[in-house]
Chains A and B, each alone.
Chain A
Amino acid sequence: MTAYIIRRLLTVIPITLGVLLLVFTIYRVIGGDPAVRLAGKNATQTKIEQIRKQFGYDKPKFFNWQEAAKTGQPMAVFDSQFWQIVRQFAQLDFGKSLQSNQRISRMMADGVVPSLCITTPIFVIELTVAIALALLCAFYRNTWIDRTFVVISIVGMSISGLVYIMLGQYFFSFVLGLFPVWGFESVNYVLLPVAIGVVAGIGGSLRFYRTIMLDEMYQDYVRTAFAKGASQRQVLFKHVLKNALIPILTNVVVAIPFLYTGSLMLESFFGIPGLGRMTVDAIYTGDEPVLFAMVFIGSVIFVIANLITDLCYTWADPRIRLQ
């Protein structure tokens, strides 16, 4: 058990370094020279050079062999763009925003609460409703009730999230005037975005949980339970729900980074000063340090969440430790 936990903890390191490497590759290698992007279309060569110097883009990308050979110090190899970022991020220093010149760590700390105010209720409501409906579908499987929900969920999934937001805001805020259109001042400002978030996401969730429940429904142990004379309800709640917990848990964890970034569009439509809007604004203004940090932190949260699930599994299902 302890050995498993230690082994699992150690896997976090290569994955996190890999994520940093990936994000670095995207922003500094795939897209070409970041200084040219930051300088804009009509920049002069001197301006580009100046930016390159200011942000350290003139250094080698991964390993500074030249510097090491010149000074004779082996550690100078790590005087490069990538290792510079590794050192900074290890100290939780994400640099400054190009737009506001604020520290990015400060901006993130400010944005977390508004974001969670939107995403946590969406997450909890969606999860509860989806699992309840999925159980209902499993109970009435292959009847018109089940089929109706399947059709509704596939129809719901086939509409763009943006359309839900636009129509919801137009009808409930603008036409009916029930909710404020823009801002983040009281509970009233949160209700509509949460409702829209739940409606937009419920289709996918319901379909997913229904598949999980039905997969369990056709397992041998369910047939045995029925053969023993257990009632439909007993099988569903005592056997199926318990066994479905593992895949449910996985999905819940996969959705955790969504708590952090999930409301990209909702936040910018309703003017909620959270992390989602921060990211959208950063894309619009080309604020690369903010984007870099957001993508990296989003991934680290996912890695940690994944770790926690795996540890929960060993507690919930002893079989997993053996695999």
Chain B
Amino acid sequence: MTDVTANPAALAAKPQTLWSTAWRQFRRNRLAVVCLAIVGIYVGVFLYAESVYWIAKVRDVVPSYKVADFAARNAPPSAAHWFGTDFAGRDNLAQLIQGVRIAFEIAFLTSAILIPLGFLLGALAGYFGRWVDNTIIWLYSVVDSVPSILSIISISYVVGRGLKGIVIGMGLVAWVGLCRLIRGEYLKHKQRAYVAAARALGAGHLTVMLRHIAPNVLHIIIIVFTLAFPRFILTEVILSYLGVGITGEPSWGVMINDAKQRLWLGVWWELGGATAAMFFLVLALNIVGDALRDALDPKLKTTEGSKA
């Protein structure tokens, strides 16, 4: 573990927070640090892609990644087009960069549904117990009983094609894992002395839940987000294939599906580019997520079934 037990002076010298010990632990895993840097690069690309998108929107012009050049259709990789061009002569690299933007937008928007929902329900169930707990357990058992890909497809389908359908579909299904973990933590924490002390001092249930216990379980949200992110990316590809994916913008799923027929004509760079762009982000997030878990909360059971 840490060197605190071996060296009591370290304890006296500087207060140890969860985050500082976790960071020290995380830093030891060199592979994870490299992967964190890769994620950082992707965040940079995301910000760049977002600015390209918004600048084109504000100026009301066709963004560069959508400019078709029919003279250079399906062109192989070259100095001008590193990843070649697609069937309309659009630069694949520019589209891959926009794919980063879509991937992050999906992750953030989905999390904006998933995290409040999972956290709140988990906290309520764990803290209040009894019938609240029973109802919420029933609710997540029901959601969990529907094979997740089928429920995501169904919701995306009825909401309609596009970003909204994907985000609502994944958000309304994926909260179960977080809810379970948060519930478990609240069950544990509500019996701790500090909660009894806060109650004795007159703090209300809501204050105890959100001001006192919540800071102690926030790290779980970060772990769950990092581990869920790659799953969102992979699910988006399936949804695109099923025809309920993004429309009008070049997501990685759209690119992979567009590459389907052209692969047989020998056009491999479109598929290759999208797969590679996806691969490095998913891989890095998987490794960072595992390392974060090991550093912050090694006993947390985040491993869901292999078919999840």
Residues of A within 8 A of B (CB): 14-15, 18-19, 21-23, 26-27, 30-32, 37, 130, 154-155, 157-163, 166-167, 170, 174, 201, 204-205, 207-209, 211-212, 250-251, 254-255, 257-258, 261-262, 264-265, 279-280, 283-284, 291, 294-295, 298-299, 302-303, 306
Known: A23-B146, A160-B234. A295 touches B151 (CB 8 A): yes
Interface pick from B70-78, B100-108, B217-225, B240-248: B240-248
Partner of A163, one of B155, B275, B307: B275
Q: How far is the CB of A38 from chain B (nearest CB, A)?
A: 11
In B110-126, the 8 Å CB interface with A consists of none
Say yes or no: A163-B306 contact (C-beta < 8 A), given A18-B138, A158-B230: no
Determine the chain A residues whose CB is within 8 A of the CB of B37 once the complex forms: none
From B145, B230, B244, B307, contact of A299 by CB (8 A): B145
Q: Do A291 and B154 touch (CB < 8 A)?
A: yes
B103 CB to closest chain A CB (Å) equals 12
Asked if A174 and B145 sit within 8 Å, CB to CB, the answer is no
What are some 9 contacts across the A-B interface (CB < 8 A)?
A: A15-B141, A18-B139, A158-B230, A159-B278, A160-B275, A162-B256, A162-B257, A262-B307, A302-B146
Query: Which DSSP category, helix, strand, loop or mixed, fits chain B's interface?
Result: helix
Contact, CB under 8 Å: B264 / A26: no
Complex CA distance for A27 and B146, rounded to whole angstroms: 14
Given contacts A30-B158, A163-B256, A166-B271, contact A155 B306 (CB under 8 A): no
What is the chain A residue whose CB lies nearest that of B144? A302
- In the bound complex, do residue A302 and residue B147 qualify as a contact, i.e. CB atoms below 8 Å apart? yes
Chain B residues with CB under 8 A of A32: 158
Asked, given contacts A18-B138, A30-B155, A295-B154, whether A155 binds B283 with beta carbons under 8 Å apart, the answer is yes
- Whether B295 sits at the interface, judged by CB under 8 Å, is no
Complex: A147 Cα to B146 Cα, angstroms: 35
Query: By the criterion CB–CB under 8 Å, are A303 and B145 in contact?
Result: yes
B109 within 8 A of A: no
In angstroms, Cα B148 to Cα A255, docked, is 12
**Does B96 make an interface contact (CB < 8 A)?**
no
Report how far A295 CA is from B73 CA in the complex, Å.
Answer: 41
Q: Which residue of A lies closest to B148 (CB)?
A: A257
CA distance A21 to B143 in the complex (A): 10
| Cβ-closest chain A residue relative to B260 | A166
A255 and B282 in contact, given A19-B145, A22-B143, A160-B275 (Cβ under 8 angstroms): no
Given that A15-B145, A298-B146 are known contacts, is A255 also in contact with B157, CB under 8 Å in the complex? no
> What does the 1/0 interface line of B259-299 toward A look like (CB < 8 Å)?
11001100000010001001100110011000000000000
The 3 closest A-B pairs by CB, nearest first: A31-B158, A18-B142, A254-B305
Please judge, given known A-B contacts A261-B147, A295-B146, whether A208 and B305 are in contact too, CB under 8 Å. Answer: yes
Whether B150 sits at the interface, judged by CB under 8 Å, is yes
A37-B158, A160-B237, A174-B264 known; A255-B286 Cβ under 8 A: no
Given A154-B287, A163-B256, A265-B241, A257:B147 Cβ within 8 A: yes
A302 / chain B contacts, CB cutoff of 8 Å: 145-147
Give the interface of B toward A (CB within 8 A).
138-139, 141-143, 145-147, 149-151, 153-155, 157-160, 230, 234, 237-238, 241-244, 256-257, 259-260, 263-264, 271, 275, 278-279, 282-283, 286-287, 303, 305-308
Specify which chain B residues have a CB less than 8 angstroms from the CB of A254 in the assembled complex. 305, 307-308
Do the beta carbons of B286 and A157 come within 8 Å of each other? yes
Contact A294 B150 (CB under 8 A): yes
B233 CB to closest chain A CB (Å) equals 8
Known: A158-B230, A159-B275, A255-B306. Is A22-B237 also a contact (CB below 8 A)?
A: no
Task: Given A19-B146, A161-B234, A261-B147, check contact A26 B155 (CB 8 Å).
Answer: yes
Q: Is the CB of A23 within 8 A of B154?
A: yes
Q: How far is the CA of A32 from the CA of B139 in the complex (A)?
A: 22
With A22-B143, A162-B241 already in contact, 19 other A-B pairs whose C-beta atoms are closer than 8 Å: A15-B141, A18-B138, A22-B146, A31-B157, A130-B306, A155-B283, A158-B230, A159-B278, A159-B279, A159-B282, A166-B260, A166-B263, A254-B305, A254-B308, A265-B238, A284-B242, A295-B147, A295-B154, A306-B145
Alpha-carbon distance between A158 and B229 when the two chains are bound, in angstroms: 12
Residue from the list A158, A163, A211 in contact with B286, Cβ < 8 A = A158
Known: A27-B158, A251-B306. A261 touches B150 (CB 8 A): yes
State whether A208 touches B145 (Cβ < 8 A): no
